[in-house]
């Protein structure tokens, strides 16, 4: 009796397993929409992004300038969120996509004598690009690579002596490279994606303008100043991110 039950259980599991293995993903059309993002898994790569807060304020207190962004320390908070609209070409491994993403860096620090010191950088990007999918879209798993041209609006703020100094938002042009994997949930038009993204946000249109004041004169705003200045080299704003996404096929 026990042997018969075991055989029946094995038979049912085998049928269920075969059913799962041959299940195909359900794609009602060529269009899809994805929401993706992360908390804290964003890292500045270039030397320009690897400064410390103490280094930043030491320069800032001299002439309201900085040679690096202070995002190398462990207490930096970051997040990345975005949406993607994509169209996959019929009978082709290629897709066209359009991304809207925002990446946020925030370095909090408190000083008893100076009040709150904080540097905020926000990179908002619109990115048209191309995806290449390895394997069939209907397979349970896909591997893909993406390349896009980024049009970014970059700015932020610096809190100095408990005062907020705005860093004016500026248009920059760059690129992104992304690679990842996709799990297509059988039977429903939903996919889960895990991807690694590298973005160089300011490859083109870098600029520099001298601040119109120097400490101890009060300053209300300053340009991004990522271009080459009299005493500063140009700065690269680049980010590597690990993101999780959920895609709905339309």
* Domains of the chain, earliest start first: 30-249 (2.40.160.20)
pTM given for the model: 0.86
> pLDDT tens digit string along 10-48?
445 444 443 434 445 667 789 999 999 999 899 999 999
Give the pairing type, strands 115-134 and 141-160: antiparallel
Q: Are the beta carbons of 243 and 49 closer than 8 angstroms?
A: no
> pLDDT tens digit string along 200-230?
999 999 999 998 888 888 899 999 999 998 8
Q: Are the beta carbons of 94 and 74 closer than 8 angstroms?
A: no
In this structure, the dihedral spanned by the alpha carbons of residues 9, 14, 17 and 19, taken in order and rounded to 10 degrees, is -110
Place of tokens 């705005």: 166
Find how far residue 206's CA is from the centre of its chain: 20
Closest CA to 186 of 12, 26, 17, 7: 26
Q: Could you say which DSSP state residue 49 is in? A: G
Segments of 6-76 assigned E as strands: 31-39, 42-44
């Amino acid at each position: 009796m026990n042997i018969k039950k075991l055989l029946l259980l094995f038979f049912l599991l085998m049928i269920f397993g075969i059913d799962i293995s041959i299940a195909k993903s359900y794609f009602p059309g060529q269009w899809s929409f994805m929401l993706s993002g992360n908390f804290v898994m964003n890292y500045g790569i270039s030397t320009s992004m690897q400064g410390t807060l103490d280094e930043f304020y030491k320069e800032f207190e001299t002439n309201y300038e900085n040679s690096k962004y202070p995002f190398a320390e462990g207490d930096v908070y970051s997040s990345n969120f975005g949406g993607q609209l994509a169209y996959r070409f019929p009978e082709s491994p290629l897709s066209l996509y359009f991304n809207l993403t925002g990446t946020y860096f925030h370095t909090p620090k408190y000083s008893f004598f100076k009040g709150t010191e904080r540097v905020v950088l926000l990179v908002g990007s619109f990115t048209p690009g191309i995806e290449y999918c390895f394997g069939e879209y209907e397979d349970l798993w896909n591997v893909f690579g993406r390349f896009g041209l980024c049009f970014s609006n970059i700015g932020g703020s610096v809190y100095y002596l408990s005062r907020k100094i705005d860093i004016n938002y500026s248009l920059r042009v760059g690129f992104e490279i992304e690679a990842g994997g996709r799990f297509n949930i059988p039977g429903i038009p939903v996919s889960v994606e895990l991807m690694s993204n590298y973005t160089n946000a300011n490859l083109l249109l870098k600029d520099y303008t001298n601040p119109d004041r120097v400490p101890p004169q009060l300053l209300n705003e300053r340009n991004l100043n990522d271009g080459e200045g009299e005493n500063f080299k140009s700065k690269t704003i680049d980010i590597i991110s690990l993101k999780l996404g959920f895609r709905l096929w339309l």
